[in-house]
A = this chain, B = another copy of it.
Amino acid sequence: MTKKVYLAGPEVFLANARDILDRKAALAREAGFTPLSPGDLDIEPTETKKEFGLAISAVDEKMMLEADAIIANLTPFRGIAADVGTTFELGFMCALGKPVFAYTNVAAGHYERVMEYYKGMAAPTDDGHVRGPDGLSIEDFDMIDNLMLQGGVERRGGKVIVGNAPADRLYTDLDAFKRCLAAAKEALL
């Protein structure tokens, strides 16, 4: 039995989702894994839009329960942080005690991205935190995103791979994914 790896990430939203998901799946197979993709859905029509969403949620969770490991694409999505569906899935797999791996296609870390979000308006305050003009403190832990994400991966012995894709290939460049797959292969196969 080959090990199953769940390929989490925001690729499902791409115009060429099928193509990218297929390329990721093919690379996972080449590495020796059986890929499970959240886009591999065949869901019966439902009465309401919400029921359809609930049905996808059920299928994706079922795939995670079947999977032996996860590779999560934490590339920032519509903003400065990872896709929240993907981070839910990463937490899900961490709690199940399954091997977790992650990557991002953005080289700038969390602190750097949030500073840019505040366009230079963030500054240290008396309580020792750097805060934006909205008063929100900025995590500065040399991590790619919120500490629960990178912490969850690295504390379990997983790897977080940092890529640096050009802006026009933010979700389609597979270099960091390949390196992440190689790390998962070395650890698990």
- Contact surface of A with B, Cβ cutoff 8 Å: 10, 12-17, 48-50, 52-54, 56-58, 60-61, 64, 77-85, 87-96, 114, 117, 125, 127, 131, 135-137, 139-143, 145-152, 154-155
CA distance in complex: A152, B135 (Å): 31
Q: Given A15-B125, A135-B15, does the pair A152, B57 have CB atoms closer than 8 Å?
A: yes
Chain B residue, CB-CB nearest to A8 = B148
Find out whether the CB atom of A88 lies under 8 angstroms from the CB atom of B90. Answer: yes
CA distance in complex: A64, B141 (Å): 21
CA distance in complex: A127, B12 (Å): 13
Q: Given A78-B79, A81-B78, A95-B95, does the pair A88, B146 have CB atoms closer than 8 Å?
A: yes
A140 to chain B, nearest CB (A): 6
CA distance in complex: A9, B123 (Å): 23
Find out whether the CB atom of B146 lies under 8 angstroms from the CB atom of A85. Answer: yes
A7 to chain B, nearest CB (A): 15
Find out whether the CB atom of A151 lies under 8 angstroms from the CB atom of B81. Answer: no
Which residues of chain B are near A52, meaning CB under 8 Å?
Answer: 141
CA distance in complex: A92, B97 (Å): 10
CA distance in complex: A54, B157 (Å): 12
Q: Given A95-B91, A135-B14, does the pair A58, B155 have CB atoms closer than 8 Å?
A: yes
What are 22 A-B residue pairs whose CB atoms fall within 8 Å in the complex? A13-B136, A14-B135, A15-B125, A48-B142, A50-B141, A53-B139, A53-B151, A54-B141, A56-B147, A57-B147, A57-B150, A57-B155, A60-B148, A61-B148, A61-B152, A79-B79, A79-B80, A79-B81, A84-B145, A88-B94, A88-B148, A95-B96
